[in-house]
Amino acid sequence: MNHSNAGGASGAELARLDGHRARLVRLQVEDATRFAQESVLLHEASQLAEAISVRGGQGGRAAELAHRAIAAEFATALRVSDRTVQRRMSAAGVLVQAFPGTLAAVREGRIFRGHVSVIVDEGARLPDAPSRAAYEAAVLPFAEHEAPARVRVFARRVAERFHPRSLQQRHEDAAAGRGVWVTELGDGMAELLAVIPTVVANGILDRLNQFAEHSEDPAMPGGVVVEVEGAVPDARTRDQRRADAFADLCLTGDPAAHPGPAGLGSIRARVHLQVPVLSMLGNGDDPVTLHGHSPVDTDTALRLAGTASGWDRVLTHPITGAVLAVDRYTPNTDLKRTLRARDLHCRFPGCRQPAHRTDLDHTIDFALGGPTRENNLAHLCRRHHTLKHATAWTVVQHPGGILEWTSPIGHTYPDIPTSTVMFKPATDWNDAFAHANLNAVANLNAVATPDAAVNANDPPPFFSRVVGGTG
């Protein structure tokens, strides 16, 4: 479809817009270079403070005062807080010393300031230089073509892959610090903070979201809304409904404030995991991922796997990692599940709106003969769905789910499915399969699809990721 942007921009106006775009890009690159130079200067100032304190033969207190004095010197000149400068000095030291690859990339304008904080934050848990170097080598090529919000999820997964201690070990140590705290806020309110495993936290939030959704539109099965004479409409906001349901569940064990189907078992939390099949068989060390969030320790994943009501088997290309198909172990192949597994979020470059909050859009309009199939569908949030249909932005879909967006000026921006990169199998995937327990694979397939003949001597045609939902 040919779109015309609002107002019908002339050729001269588009040329002027293109000039502004080029200037903004140059300014962004210059800002990245200045940021790198500033980081080096601040780090050198920190080293100077260390040298002054050591030469004086004094202890840690003297070193701290030397840093404060230099931070105050810079702060008065820059007209900012000396605490702000001291924090920037500390962050610069981490970047320069621990992440030299990231420093080089931002100095050269290959990544920008926002990428740096994401890469450093997610890689900070890596304890040694070799693991950080391997992490940077994997993350930086991705960061050069993606927005920081998308880089964070990818970087978190990569950091887990290169950490010398297993996620299971670190999870056990971290879980020992779980607890619940209350902070008084005034006006009769308080903040309740719980530090708990991520699968539990996301399960709780999902269940509360379901209570809120039922409160918005309480309906009988089949979508028939129950109207009670004299009933007062629920005027609470979504956050208020979630908070009330949370309080009722904690205090009484039943959501008394919930006006819809309120039995304790009427709504169960949904936890979706992405499990590399080799990890499930004990022959791989790729971390299990809580869908769209963060890695999960293997023991927790296997316990959830044992109680899952259903599984999706996501088949990915052995070389590119692209999602090819999804079938369900408790059958029913569903195109929507395939696309959710592929896209994860809105497919406009840089957007991280999760797939469940987006529209499933026909790349070629259905009204113009566009088919309803995988290679003509993609998730777009409402903002970018509107942008596609109501402005001069256009998009085409290439094999592998790659969307190529074209701006009104004529610049193209490819958007590669994040899952293609995140779930790309290891280079030795074939060897890993050769050593995997193929009988276990055959048994797993036989239970899921008893009518399908599986030869345990034949390696599976595709690398598999098992995506499960449990309540």
pLDDT in tens, 177-227: 989 998 988 888 889 999 988 888 888 888 888 877 776 554 434 344 445
**What is the rounded distance in angstroms from the CA atom of residue 400 to the CA atom of residue 323?**
8
Per-residue pLDDT of the chain (471 residues; tens, 9 = 90+): 445 554 578 889 999 999 999 999 999 999 999 999 999 999 999 998 888 877 655 555 667 788 888 889 999 999 999 899 999 999 999 999 999 999 999 999 999 999 999 999 999 989 999 999 999 999 999 999 999 999 998 999 899 889 988 888 888 888 889 899 989 888 888 899 999 888 888 888 888 888 777 765 544 343 444 455 555 677 788 888 888 888 888 877 665 555 554 444 444 555 566 666 666 566 666 667 765 556 777 677 666 666 665 565 555 555 556 555 544 433 234 578 888 888 889 999 989 888 888 888 889 887 787 877 788 889 999 999 999 988 889 999 998 899 999 998 899 999 988 776 666 655 554 554 444 444 434 443 433 333 333 343 443 433 344 445 544
Which residue, 328, 193, 344, 210, is CA-closest to 269? 210
The reported pLDDT for the residue numbered 278 is: 63
Q: What is the 3-state secondary structure (H, E, C) of 142-163?
A: HHCCCCHHHHHHHHHHHHHHHC
Say what the pLDDT of residue 299 is. Answer: 72
Closest CA to 421 of 140, 164, 166: 140
**Confidence (pLDDT) at 107:** 96
CA distances from 445 to 6, 207, 277, 326, 454 (A): 54, 31, 12, 14, 7
